[in-house]
Amino acid sequence: MIEISPTDRVFILTGAGISAESGLPTFRGEGGLWRNVRVEEVASPVAWQRDPQFVWEFYSMRRRAASQARPNPGHTALAALERALGNRLFLCTQNVDNLHEQASSHDAVHMHGELFKSRCERCTLPPFDDTNTYEPPASLPRCECGARVRPHICWFGEVPFHVDRIYRALDECTLFVAIGTSGMVEPAASFATHARSRGRTFYVGPEEPANASAFTECFLGKSGEVLPELFRF
């Protein structure tokens, strides 16, 4: 049980594990996406320059899978926590699916982008909603400026989104909870260490993450089972 006091400010970081019980594969575990596909062939600027069609096939496949997925009790518990804490909760996700939004979380900060958005690779038009799939024989999407449209995803080697806002929230939080993330990808893997200098840090997932030493306590179990009973305020 995690006690939340009336003055606590809570930072939640979610990873692929929270969506596992909704049927979406994680990246590194058994059956994980990176077990079948080489990251550098689909999720890097080099891959995009070399074979944009292949990159779009990968994200089209993920759009199809994510469009079938529904939130699980883990997502629902975090939406309830937002209703209880209001702006004392900051929800940051590495996930590009929209399951937090489907569960009625209103301000999930997507540091690795959003699967159902696309943007121009060149001009400054903002990212736009896009649920289309782009696979042969369909041609690749183009912006009105003539450049290619790419998935609105932070690829390896790119800077995550919203970092200023995220580090401000980390500086302010007194309680940090990471859920379903292996602790292997920076900068998110270092958030717990950052937060620990000023408060309590917890992890929720079926196994200890790589950065387990940064946590005050790990609650081992599936997030859909642990989260609904975890918080007391």
Q: Which residues are catalytic, by number?
A: 112
Kindly indicate which of the ranges 5-13, 28-36, 58-66, 168-176 contains the residues binding ligand OAD, using the contact rule CB under 6 A: 28-36
Q: Are strands 149-153 and 113-120 parallel, antiparallel or unpaired?
A: antiparallel
Q: Is 94 in the site for ligand OAD (CB under 6 A)?
A: yes
39 token code pair: 């990251």
Q: Is 213 buried (19+), middle (13-18) or exposed (0-12) by CB count in 10 A?
A: exposed
How distant, in Å, are the alpha carbons of 94, 107, 113, 137 from that of 90?
A: 13, 8, 17, 42
Q: Is 223 in the site for ligand OAD (CB under 6 A)?
A: yes
- Give yes or no for a contact between 233 and 4, defined as CB atoms under 8 angstroms apart: yes
In terms of CB distance, is 94 or 105 closer to ligand OAD? 94
Please select the residue that binds ligand OAD; options are 184, 212, 213, 229, rule is CB under 6 A. 184
Evaluate the omega torsion of the peptide bond into residue 126 and state whether it is cis, within 30 degrees of 0: no
Q: Which of 99, 76, 79 has the alpha carbon at shortest distance from 22?
A: 99
Q: Is 32 in the site for ligand OAD (CB under 6 A)?
A: yes
Please select the residue that binds ligand OAD; options are 62, 63, 110, 112, rule is CB under 6 A. 112
Q: Is 138 in the site for ligand OAD (CB under 6 A)?
A: no
Ranges of beta strands (E only) in 2-110 are 2-3, 10-14, 89-93, 109-110
Q: Is 48 in the site for ligand OAD (CB under 6 A)?
A: no
In terms of CB distance, is 107 or 207 closer to ligand OAD? 207
Minimum CB distance to ligand OAD, residue 109 (Å): 13
Positions touching ligand OAD (CB under 6 A) are 15-18, 20-21, 26-29, 32, 43, 94, 112, 154, 180-182, 184-185, 205-207, 209, 222-223
